[in-house]
């Protein structure tokens, strides 16, 4: 079987290093410069990268409050940015980060489905649970939800989002001007989800894109995170300093992703 490596560009406009904005060749306002992000995306596409990935947070980093020296204090909301970059590119995918803890499934499903349509089927969702007290303080909480609570919610959240993305079948929209039939109601499916964390009727009011659903990306490191990644993700974002630990991580995820053995029935 032919195997190819896939290249993802992780290029925050303000740079990865806390002092990247001070480099002579770096625009000081790169974090919030659309022109600079356009340059990054188009350069990555020319270099045959498969995707442009952006992390995101829902609060100013603690260092940004205390010392005033980091460009990470402000930046674009990724889905908004990628919606603007999509028409300026042709092939590169866009993986935006969004939180299952502080967003509702319907709103999240809607904005990623919209990005997927705008880009012609090049959107991906980096699933995060957002583990900072600072973010909690921006969303009506005195302290963040416990770890297990966040991952249980995330598992159900992704399930609901996927159901919403399947609200319309690929050929649901007839758009027949002569008959006046815009869509086939038999090919529209209510979500009707009732779970521990969410109650969502559906259907989503955005149709499917050429790729069907946005790609699911997840960064699972803890036990709960690895289980979530194995159960939901098509791409897993991870970082290891040694080959042995990377191989162990790979084997662990593969094992978790294997379907359970079929129960043998004997007469």
DSSP the chain: -------EEE--TT-SSTTGGGSTTS-TTGGG-HHHHHHHHHHHHHTT-SEEEE---SS--HHHHHT---GGG----HHHHHHHHGGG-SS-EEEEEEESSSS-HHHHHHHHHHHHHHTTS-EEEEEE----HHHHTTTT-SSPPPHHHHHHHHHHHHHHHHHHHTSB-TT-EEEETTTTEEE-GGGB----EE-SS-EE----SS--BTTBSPEEEE---SHHHHHHHHHH-SEE----SSHHHHHHHHHHHHHHHSPPPPPP---
- In percent, the amount of the chain with pLDDT more than 90 equals 72
Residue 267 lies in a domain: no
**pLDDT tens-digit series, residues 100-150:** 999 999 999 999 999 999 999 999 999 999 989 999 999 999 999 999 999
Per-residue pLDDT tens digits for 205-226 = 999 988 999 999 998 788 888 8
| 69: in domain | yes
What integer is the mean pLDDT of 231-237? 90
Give the CATH number for residue 22: 3.20.20.30
Tell me what pLDDT residue 133 has. 92
pLDDT band at 264, cuts 50/70/90? very low
If one counts the domains in the chain, the total is 1
pLDDT of 65 higher than 70 = no
Residue 2 domain-assigned (yes or no): no
Domain annotation covers residue 264: no
Mean pLDDT of 20-37: 93
What residues make up the domain containing 246?
Answer: 8-257
pLDDT for the residue numbered 267: 40
| Residue 266, domain member (yes or no) | no
Classify residue 21: in a domain, yes or no. yes
| Domain assignment present for 167 | yes
For the entire predicted model, the pTM comes to 0.90
Do the domain assignments include residue 121?
yes
């Amino acid at each position: 079987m032919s195997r190819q490596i896939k290249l993802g560009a992780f290029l925050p406009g303000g740079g990865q290093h806390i002092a990247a904005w001070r480099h002579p060749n770096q625009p000081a306002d790169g974090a919030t410069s659309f022109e600079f992000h356009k340059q990054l995306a188009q350069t990555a596409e020319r270099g045959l990268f498969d995707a442009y990935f952006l992390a995101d947070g829902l609060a100013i980093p603690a260092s940004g409050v205390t010392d005033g020296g980091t460009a990470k204090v402000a930046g674009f909301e990724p889905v908004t940015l990628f919606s603007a970059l999509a028409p300026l590119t042709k092939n590169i995918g866009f993986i935006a980060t969004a939180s299952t803890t502080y967003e509702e499934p319907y709103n999240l499903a809607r904005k990623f489905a919209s990005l997927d349509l705008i880009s012609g089927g090049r959107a991906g969702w980096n699933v995060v649970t957002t583990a900072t007290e600072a973010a909690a303080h921006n969303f009506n909480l005195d302290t963040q939800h416990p770890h297990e609570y966040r991952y249980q919610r995330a598992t159900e959240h992704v399930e609901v989002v996927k159901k919403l993305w399947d609200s319309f079948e690929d050929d649901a929209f007839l758009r027949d001007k002569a008959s006046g039939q815009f869509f086939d109601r038999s090919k529209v499916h209510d979500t009707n989800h009732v779970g521990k964390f969410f109650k969502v009727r559906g259907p989503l009011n955005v149709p499917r894109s050429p790729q069907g659903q946005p790609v699911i990306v997840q960064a699972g490191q803890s036990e709960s995170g690895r289980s979530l990644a194995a159960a939901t993700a098509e791409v897993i974002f991870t970082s290891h300093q040694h080959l042995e630990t990377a191989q162990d991580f790979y084997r662990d995820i593969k094992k978790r992703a294997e379907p359970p053995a079929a129960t043998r029935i004997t007469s």
